[in-house]
C-alpha cells in the first residue's frame, strides 16, 4: 500500500489482485446479484484510489480498506433504497428463501440473507475475511461485546435454519 501511495503501478495491481476476491465476497453477501457486487467492487477501488493518501503507513491495511468498502455498501444501499421508492411492488423480485431449495442445503448467500443486516455484516468479516473482533468493531463503529453478541445471535439463527434441512427420522425410514 505504501508503494501504491507513492505511485507504483505494479504495487497497485498487486494490491487489487490480492484483495479483490475478499472484497468481492464481502459485497456479494450483501448484493442482490453478481452485477451489483461487481459494481460495488469497482466503486470501492475507485474510492480507495481517491483516498489512498489517508492510509497511514504502518497501520493495518484491512480495517482501513474494509471501512471504505462498508461505506461504499451503505451508500449504494441508500441510493437503491431511494430508487426503489419509485418502483411499484409488482416489479420488486421476491427474496429467495432457504425453504425453496426443496431439502437441499442452501448456498451460504441464501443463508446469510435470513439474518438481520447487522448480523449479516459481521459474519463475513469474521469468518470469510478473517478479521479480528476488534477490527470488526472498529469497522462497524460498535463495541467488541456488540460484535460478539451479533455473531452469537447469527450463529443461533443459522443453526435453526439449518436444522430445518436435516432429514427427520420419519423421512429417512420412508415414513411421513
Q: Which residue has the higher pLDDT, 27 or 104?
A: 27
Q: What is the mean pLDDT of residues 21-45?
A: 89
pLDDT at 167: 52
Instruction: Please determine, looking at this structure, whether the domain spanning 96-176 carries the CATH number 1.20.1440.130.
Output: no
Give 68's pLDDT tier (boundaries 50, 70, 90).
Answer: very high
CB atoms within 10 A of CB 112: 20
Q: How far apart are CA 87 and CA 84, in angstroms?
A: 5
Query: Is 130:62 a contact under the CB 8 Å cutoff?
Result: no
pTM for this model (two decimals): 0.51
Q: What is the pLDDT at residue 174?
A: 45
Q: Cell 421476491 maps to which residue?
A: 94
Give residue limits of the domains in the chain: 1-93, 96-176
Q: Is the pLDDT of residue 142 over 70?
A: yes
Q: Hey, how many other C-beta atoms are within 10 angstroms of the C-beta on 133?
A: 17
Least confident of 68-72, 135-139, 142-146: 135-139
pLDDT score for 118: 85
According to the CATH classification, is domain 1-93 in 3.40.50.1100?
Answer: no
Among 16-30, 100-114, 150-164, the least confident range: 100-114
Give the whole-angstrom CA distance, residue 153 versus residue 115.
9
Tens of pLDDT, residues 84-122: 655 544 454 556 555 554 456 677 777 888 888 888 888
Query: Residue 47 in 3-state DSSP?
Result: helix
The cell numbers describing 150, all together, are 451479533
Amino acid at each position: 500500500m505504501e508503494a501504491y501511495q507513492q505511485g507504483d503501478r505494479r504495487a497497485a495491481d498487486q494490491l487489487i489482485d490480492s484483495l479483490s476476491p475478499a472484497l468481492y465476497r464481502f459485497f456479494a453477501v450483501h448484493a442482490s446479484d453478481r452485477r451489483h457486487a461487481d459494481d460495488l467492487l469497482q466503486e470501492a477501488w475507485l474510492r480507495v484510489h481517491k483516498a489512498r493518501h489517508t492510509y497511514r503507513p504502518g497501520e493495518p491495511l484491512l480495517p482501513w480498506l474494509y471501512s471504505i468498502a462498508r461505506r461504499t455498501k451503505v451508500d449504494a444501499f441508500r441510493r437503491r433504497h431511494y430508487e426503489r421508492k419509485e418502483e411499484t411492488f409488482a416489479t420488486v423480485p421476491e427474496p429467495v428463501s432457504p425453504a425453496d431449495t426443496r431439502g437441499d442445503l442452501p448456498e451460504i448467500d441464501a443463508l446469510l440473507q435470513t439474518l438481520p443486516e447487522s448480523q449479516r455484516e459481521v459474519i463475513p468479516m469474521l469468518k470469510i475475511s478473517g478479521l479480528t473482533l476488534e477490527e470488526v468493531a472498529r469497522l462497524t463503529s460498535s463495541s467488541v461485546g456488540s460484535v460478539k453478541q451479533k455473531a452469537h445471535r447469527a450463529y443461533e439463527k443459522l443453526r435453526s435454519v439449518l436444522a430445518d434441512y436435516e432429514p427427520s427420522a420419519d423421512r429417512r425410514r420412508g415414513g411421513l
